[in-house]
Amino acid sequence: MKNATKFGSGIVRTRSILFLGIALLVVSATSRAQSNNSEELNLTLQPGAHNSAPGSKLVYQHARAANTAAGKSLHAKEVASGHGPAANSNSSDDGGILRYPGTVSYQGGPVVDSAEFHAVYLLPNGHCHIADCWGDPEGFLRDLGKSDFIHLVDQYVGLQSSNRYSVGFRAKVSYTPPTAPLTDSDIESVVYLVASATGATGYGHIYHVFLPPGQDECFDSTDSECYSPDNPTSFFFCGYHSSVDFSDIGHVLYTVEPYQDVPGCQVKPGTPNGQLVDSTDNVLNHESFETISDPDGTAWWNTTSLPLNGEEISDECEFVTVQGQSAFFDVPSIKINGKRYGVQSIYSNDVNACGTAP
């Protein structure tokens, strides 16, 4: 496994969990969702009770830094890098921004050559309409899986066939929002429940866990490195991808997708679908590509000297623009399966540049 102190544009860490401390209860059987023809699982998270789930070990965790003072401090710690001069750019064009970052190298670990994406929505007290809270992330993932864009990963996974990445079931998890931020161990509890209920584990399944507006989330209970728009001093990241080993159901891949339509995580104004939708899809896009190419931190990443050392294929093509006093993720308008989205490009070794198609 890659060293946990590996530098990149995100935070990388490992830890072990002895038990999962939040109990969850399945309250309804799997049903057919009419809107998107995918399976829907309805669950309820019960706080204050112990779960009988077995121990787990976090294998890998890699975060995307927020455009905040706390996020920028990661640069000083050499944990976040690769924005280059973009953080001070006043332009959305290529002027002054590093568009030809360094080659990523293969470290010998597993990649995801095909998979189903599963959306897991956390619903506060059972309420948060998907379109209002997140847009249509499953629609984006469907378009991505059918697009030329997704074939940028062919060079990293060794396959070229179509339709290798598709959308599977969705899970809606009702919960009572706690007074303290959620932690990554809470997210693992949710992922464990869904994965153990369905048997969908291993490298063929990627869980995307979406947090509702107003829900903070931290790596651990120290609340020091978090997604926390209401607490700027700890607002370090906009999302991350992880892998975990459970003693009974095995290896599980997941991403954490907090609410993105906030200063620090938003894309620039004027994108094709508006800031809510494109901000959500931009981070989802970032974490999906990195999960595929480097699920455990042992596959594709940059091994050169700083500032690129440790960066994955999405990190290298993450750029920022400043408009007035605000910093936004600077994204192009990309046609993905015939529809335009405002999401970032992805690094390609084949052309030694950021691209949107092989």
Higher pLDDT, 282 or 27: 282
Q: Check residue 233 and report its DSSP letter.
A: G
Distance, CA of 12 to CA of 165 (rounded, Å)? 26
| Coil, helix or strand at residue 91 | coil
Q: What is the DSSP string of 24-78?
A: EEE-S--EEETTTTEEEEEEEEETTS------EEEEEEEEEEPSSHHHHHHHHTT
Could you give the C-alpha distances from 311 to 62, 64, 239, 288, 346, in angstroms and in order?
10, 10, 15, 15, 12
pLDDT of residue 22: 37
Distance (Å, whole) CA 223 – CA 237: 12
Question: What are the pLDDT digits (tens) for 259-317?
Answer: 999 999 999 999 999 999 999 999 999 999 999 999 999 999 999 877 788 899 999 99
335-348 residues labelled b (16+ CB within 10 A) or e (exposed): ebbeeebbbbbbbb
d(CA 201, CA 192): 10
Bridge partners (DSSP) of residue 174 are 44, 123
Q: Return d(Cα 255, Cα 241) in angstroms, integer.
A: 4
Of 155, 88, 173, the closest CA to residue 348 belongs to: 155
Q: Which residue has the tokens 């190298």?
A: 105
Is residue 95's pLDDT more than 90?
A: no
The confidence score (pLDDT) of residue 53 equals 54
E strands within 230-311? 237-246, 250-257, 300-301
pTM score, whole prediction: 0.87
pLDDT, average across residues 84-92: 31
Note the pLDDT tens digit of each residue in 195-249.
999 999 999 999 999 999 999 999 999 999 999 999 999 999 999 999 999 999 9
Q: Does pLDDT of 136 surpass 80?
A: yes
Among 16-25, 55-64, 137-146, which range has the highest average pLDDT?
Answer: 137-146
Residue-by-residue DSSP string for 331-358 = --EEEETTEEEE---EEETTTTEEES--
Percent pLDDT > 90 in the chain is 72
pLDDT of residue 281: 98
In sequence order, the 6+-apart residues with CB closer than 8 A to the CB of 342 are 267, 268, 271, 272, 273, 278, 281, 282, 331, 332, 333, 334
CA 69 to chain centre: 21
The answer for residues whose C-beta is within 8 angstroms of residue 357's C-beta and 6 or more apart is 148, 149, 151, 152
pLDDT of residue 125 exceeding 60, the answer is: yes
Residue extents of the structural domains in the chain = 15-355
> What's the mean per-residue pLDDT of the chain?
84
